[in-house]
């Protein structure tokens, strides 16, 4: 068995793991990264990036179809067709380019990458069998767990055959004529909308009474209206009981306890994700747990000395940018820097149509925390740039303390609002007040003007509404 010792051993090469490895190596910390599959983890290979690529294909196809119809822009084009195999090849090309870039960065930084399945022996030892079948024993001073998450599998709908997870949905060999999506969270809605635009008949089954049930109703109302316009059929307040006997439909129970069959060529289960805690010997460490997630403190330390954990393994919010920020922090701590985890807010984005952004507290959350808050919205129907983009639906909303006007949160729904997330998060980190935002000159014409107008409206002096 080949043996190697290092200061930092990172188990998992997803966004959190590879960022931690890069930062540590650049700070002079000897680092080894173990990854059993492709560098970049779920996000880069079968999550964030490929899903956005597929969404882009769907949007372009929808636009082309609109131009073939009676477009108000005066543009006329022929009826488009979709070659799904080429679309998947294009998506895979982007993924390959980015994963190759991650590998090159790690090599340049001096990180030793071991491709293979890691098995924890103890808090300072991991055994790995590499791609060639050679055994390695890796010893470390610090062990960083960054194993990510897995799709939740429902008891009555095990993956296989017609029942797929988001992984299979991102690489379709052919488009199903009828797709049933189980779950109206961001994964189900993003992929459901994309498949609808690509030409499939899409029905979404959700156990609660709303789409995106984790967000407030005012924010999701424009999205629900858009889903209905796009022809996505919603079955809210319903539960899936399993597949019909002939395998051609999903059995759905209504709130009234009635049951009906929903025809389906494919069933996409998008019922969330769970921390990946099995199959690599985590249980041998006897770490304190927070439900199914590994429990950590404000420095991402577990209950075992010099064993750290980041990202989806540590629970919600399961977001790549959270994992990356945690990974960078852990690397700096190991290098001797003083750090702890105190972000003012972590942006959450749904790349639906329209997009939804949430940063910081919504009005209800502020009220529940006992804060006397004010909120105000500015509609994109009064924003010139939104109108020129044929995107008048949606709004920007700000939440602030009533007494000193400190901004507590931002929310937005509309086309392209994902690009506002950075300014939203930065404003909370900087501790801005409504007067700061309202007094900042915003470029015209941009969607960002709605941010300024929302702040001004909260102050009682909006200009364009």
**Spatial separation of the C-alpha atoms in residues 368 and 363, rounded to whole Å:** 9
Please check whether residues 19 and 96 belong to one and the same domain. Answer: yes
Q: Residue 193: count other Cβ atoms within 10 Å of its Cβ.
A: 27
DSSP for 220-238 reads: HHHHHHHHHHHT-EEEET-
Give one DSSP letter per residue of 289-336, joined into a string. Answer: EETTEEP--TT-B-SSTTEEE-GGGG-SS--HHHHHHHHHHHHHHHTT
Q: Mean pLDDT over all residues of the chain?
A: 96
Q: Which domain holds residue 266?
A: 163-271
- Residue 271 pLDDT grade (very low, low, confident, very high; cuts 50, 70, 90): very high
Same domain, 264 and 198: yes
Specify the pLDDT at position 257: 83
Last residue of a domain, one of 230, 247, 271: 271
CB atoms within 10 A of CB 135: 12
Among 222, 248, 429, which Cα is nearest to 346's? 429
Task: Enter the pTM of the model.
Answer: 0.95
- Inside any domain, residue 66: no
Surface-to-core class of residue 461, CB atoms within 10 Å of its CB (0-12 exposed, 13-18 middle, 19+ buried): exposed
**Alpha helix locations (H) across 4-114?**
15-26, 41-46, 48-68, 84-109
**75 in any annotated domain:** no
List, for residues 134-188, the tens digit of each pLDDT value.
999 999 999 999 999 999 999 889 999 999 999 999 999 999 999 999 999 999 9
pLDDT tens digit sequence for 9-33: 999 999 999 999 999 999 999 999 9
Q: What is the pLDDT of residue 245?
A: 85
pLDDT of residue 68: 87
Nearest to 382 by CA among 401, 368, 396: 396
Domain with residue 425: its CATH number is 3.30.390.30
Rounded alpha-carbon distances, angstroms, from residue 234 to 14, 201, 279, 370, 431: 34, 12, 37, 35, 40
What amino acid positions are annotated as catalytic residues? 444
Instruction: Answer positive or negative: Cα dihedral of 16, 158, 115, 136.
Output: positive
Are 27 and 141 part of one and the same domain?
yes
Are the C-beta atoms of 1 and 80 separated by less than 8 Å? no
Structure tokens at 276: 């990946």
- Residue 2, pLDDT above cutoff 90: no
Which of 68-72, 265-269, 278-282, 305-309 comes out lowest in average pLDDT?
Answer: 68-72
Q: What is the CATH number of the domain that holds 259?
A: 3.50.50.60
User: What average pLDDT does this structure show over 116-133?
Assistant: 93
Q: What are phi and psi of 123, to 5 degrees?
A: -65, -5
For residue 399, list its beta bridge partners: 375, 409
DSSP state letter for 422: H
Higher pLDDT, 156 or 359: 359
Q: Which tokens go with 408?
A: 């507590």
pLDDT of residue 47: 93
Tens-digit pLDDT profile for residues 191-227: 999 999 999 999 999 999 999 999 999 999 999 999 9
The last residue of one of the domains, among 271, 287, 310, is: 271
% of the chain beyond a pLDDT of 90:
93
Task: Output 278 or 2, whichever has higher pLDDT.
Answer: 278
Q: Are residue 249 and residue 365 in the same domain, yes or no?
A: no
CB atoms within 10 A of CB 228: 11
Residue of 225 and 77 predicted with greater confidence:
225
For residues 167 and 191, state if they share a domain. yes
pLDDT-derived band at 246, boundaries 50, 70, 90: confident
* Strand-strand pairing, 31-35 and 2-11: parallel
Judge if 422 and 353 occupy the same domain. Answer: yes
Residue 8, phi then psi, degrees to nearest 5: -120, 130
Q: CB-side exposure of 394: number of CA atoms within 13 Å?
A: 27
> CA–CA separation, 312 vs 272, rounded Å?
12
Residue 25 lies in a domain: yes
pLDDT-based confidence at residue 103 (cuts at 50, 70, 90) = very high
The region, left, alpha or beta by phi > 0 then psi within -120 to 50, assigned to residue 74 is left
First to last CA, the chain: 72
Stretch 225-243: mean pLDDT, rounded? 95
**225 plus 353 within the same structural domain:** no
DSSP letter for 157, please.
B
Q: Does one domain contain both 257 and 319?
A: no
209 and 318 part of one domain: no
Confirm whether 158 is domain-assigned. Answer: no
Tokens of 420: 């506002």
Together in a domain, 249 and 311: no
Show which of 271, 287, 322 is a domain's final residue. 271
Residue with tokens 């700061």: 436
**What are the angstrom distances between the C-alpha of 399 and each of 47, 182, 364, 431, 457?**
31, 32, 10, 13, 11
Among candidate residues 107, 99, 104, the one with its CA nearest the CA of residue 49: 99
Which region among 131-135, 339-343, 362-366 has the lowest average model confidence (pLDDT)? 131-135
What's the structural domain count of the chain? 3
Contact (CB, 8 A) for 17 and 10: yes
Could you tell me which of 148, 154, 158 has the C-alpha nearest to residue 279? Answer: 148
Of 326, 447, 313, the C-alpha closest to 387 is 447
Q: Is there a domain that residue 63 lies in?
A: no
What was the pLDDT predicted at 434?
98
């Amino acid at each position: 068995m080949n043996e190697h010792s290092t200061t930092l051993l990172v188990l998992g090469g997803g966004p959190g793991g590879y960022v931690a490895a890069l930062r540590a190596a650049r700070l002079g910390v000897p680092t080894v990264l173990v990854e059993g599959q492709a560098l970049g983890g779920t996000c880069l290979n079968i999550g964030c990036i490929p899903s956005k690529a597929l969404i882009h294909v769907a949007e372009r196809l929808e636009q082309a179809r609109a131009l073939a119809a009676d477009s108000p822009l005066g543009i006329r084009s022929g009826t488009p067709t979709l070659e799904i195999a080429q679309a998947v090849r294009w998506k895979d090309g982007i993924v390959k380019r980015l994963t190759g870039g991650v590998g090159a960065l790690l090599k340049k930084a001096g990180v030793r990458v071991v491709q293979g399945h890691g098995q924890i022996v103890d808090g300072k030892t991991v055994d790995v069998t590499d791609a060639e079948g050679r055994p390695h024993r890796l010893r470390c001073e610090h062990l960083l767990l960054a194993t990510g998450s897995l799709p939740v599998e429902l008891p009555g709908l095990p993956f296989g055959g017609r029942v797929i997870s988001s992984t299979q949905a991102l690489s379709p060999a052919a488009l199903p004529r009828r797709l049933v999506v189980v779950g109206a969270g961001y994964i189900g809605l993003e992929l459901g909308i994309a498949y609808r635009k690509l030409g499939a008949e899409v029905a979404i089954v959700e156990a609660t009474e709303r789409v995106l049930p984790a967000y407030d109703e005012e924010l999701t109302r424009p999205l629900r209206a858009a889903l209905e316009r796009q022809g996505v059929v919603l079955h809210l307040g319903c539960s899936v009981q399993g597949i019909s006997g002939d395998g051609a439909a999903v059995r759905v129970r209504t709130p009234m306890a009635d049951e009906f069959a929903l025809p389906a060529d494919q069933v996409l289960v998008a019922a969330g994700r769970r921390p990946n805690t099995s199959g690599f010997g985590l249980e041998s460490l006897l770490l304190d747990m927070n439900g199914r997630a590994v429990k950590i403190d404000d420095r991402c330390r577990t209950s075992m000395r010099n064993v750290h954990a980041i990202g989806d393994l540590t629970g919600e919010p399961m977001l790549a940018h959270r994992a990356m920020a945690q990974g960078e922090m852990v690397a700096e701590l190991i290098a001797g820097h003083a750090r702890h985890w105190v972000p003012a807010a972590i942006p959450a984005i749904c790349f639906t149509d329209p997009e939804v952004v949430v940063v910081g507290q919504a009005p209800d959350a502020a009220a529940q925390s006992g804060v006397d808050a004010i909120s105000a919205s500015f509609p994109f129907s009064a924003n010139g740039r939104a109108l020129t983009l044929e995107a008048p639906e949606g709004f920007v909303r700000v939440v602030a303390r009533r007494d000193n006007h400190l901004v507590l949160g931002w929310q937005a729904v509309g086309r392209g609002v994902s690009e506002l997330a950075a300014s939203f998060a930065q404003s909370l980190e900087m501790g801005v007040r409504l007067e700061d935002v309202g007094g900042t000159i915003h470029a015209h014409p941009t969607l960002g003007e709605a941010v300024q107008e929302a702040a001004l409206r909260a102050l009682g002096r909006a200009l364009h509404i």
